[in-house]
């Protein structure tokens, strides 16, 4: 990574505090490091800008207060373009900044990769990656282009595993009613309802921001 023009690669800058010489972390370098960590977690290039800093609207502090401690499952629902992916990716960024590990996957792409992996013997590894403990999983666009019993069973298996072991998980779904999640797994809506549910509304943000 090229040196930051603000801190010259040191990671710290001395605050103009009247001579006390107190150092603070360089915001620009922190942002660059976060983008790198999001990319390493699998976030697509078009979503790397989706951080808490760029989130438009009030951050759901109250809802997320116990996430990762006593509540481990978060479902973000809403219509197309309401900001579900942006919020979920920003949550991952906050998790990484706090020192955690994470994985970001778009659900239909993950399913297709596992299907291809069946022929090459890597399917089990890819499934285990989704089930891995010790990191937050963001599974984006849960109901997008699934439509087969095999893919629904696969996602159901992963979600049941993570819920049963209290592994931190964030899913997004293009629905406005939790009951629609039962298309993936019977009773999934009731399980998600027992966790954190963030329902987004409003006009399509992607027409102006490029992020869903």
pLDDT tier for residue 24 given thresholds of 50, 70 and 90? low
CA dihedral 193, 194, 198, 199 (to 10 degrees): 20
pLDDT at position 174: 93
Contacts 24+ apart (CB under 8 A), 49-53: 49/211, 50/85, 50/86, 50/87, 50/89, 50/90, 50/93, 50/211, 51/89, 51/90, 51/93, 52/90, 52/93, 52/94
Tell me the pTM: 0.82
How does pLDDT run across 9-21, given as a tens digit for each residue? Answer: 555 555 655 555 5
pLDDT at position 205: 61
How does pLDDT run across 74-88, given as a tens digit for each residue? Answer: 999 999 999 999 999
Closest to 43 in 3D by CA, of 171, 138, 143, 117: 138
* Mean pLDDT of the 117-121 span: 90
Q: 48-209 in CATH: which number?
A: 3.40.50.300
* Mean pLDDT of the 36-40 span: 95
Contact 76, 200 (CB under 8 A): yes
Give the whole-number percent of the chain exceeding pLDDT 70: 79
How does pLDDT run across 163-195, given as a tens digit for each residue? Answer: 999 999 999 999 999 998 888 888 889 889 889
Please report, for the chain, the start and end positions of each structural domain, with discontinuous segments joined by +.
Answer: 1-40, 48-209
pLDDT at position 21: 58
pLDDT at position 136: 98
Q: Is the pLDDT of residue 27 over 90?
A: no
* Mean pLDDT of the 136-163 span: 85
Q: Is the pLDDT of residue 1 over 50?
A: no
Structure-token pair, residue 176: 């406005």
How does pLDDT run across 44-73, given as a tens digit for each residue? Answer: 999 999 999 999 989 999 999 999 999 999
* Mean pLDDT of the 25-51 span: 85
pLDDT tier for residue 23 given thresholds of 50, 70 and 90? low
């Amino acid at each position: 990574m090229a040196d930051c023009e603000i801190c010259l690669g040191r990671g710290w800058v001395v605050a103009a505090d009247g001579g006390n010489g107190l150092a603070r972390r360089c915001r620009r370098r922190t942002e660059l490091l976060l983008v790198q960590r999001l990319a390493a977690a699998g976030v697509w290039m078009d979503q790397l800008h989706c951080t808490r800093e760029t989130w438009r609207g009030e951050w759901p502090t109250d809802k997320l207060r116990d996430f990762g401690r006593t509540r481990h499952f978060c479902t973000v629902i809403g219509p197309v373009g309401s900001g579900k992916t942006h919020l979920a990716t920003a949550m991952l960024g906050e998790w990484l900044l706090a020192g955690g590990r994470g994985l970001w996957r778009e659900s239909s792409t993950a399913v297709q990769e596992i299907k291809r992996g069946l022929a090459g013997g890597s399917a089990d590894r890819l499934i285990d990656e989704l089930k891995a403990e010790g990191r937050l999983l963001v599974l984006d666009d849960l109901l997008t282009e699934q439509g087969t019993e095999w893919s629904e069973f696969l996602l159901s298996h992963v979600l049941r595993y993570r819920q049963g072991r209290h592994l931190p998980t964030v899913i997004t779904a293009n629905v406005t009613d939790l009951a629609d999640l039962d298309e993936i797994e019977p009773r999934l809506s009731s399980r998600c309802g027992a966790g954190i549910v963030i329902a987004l509304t409003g006009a399509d943000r992607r027409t102006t921001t490029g992020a869903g």
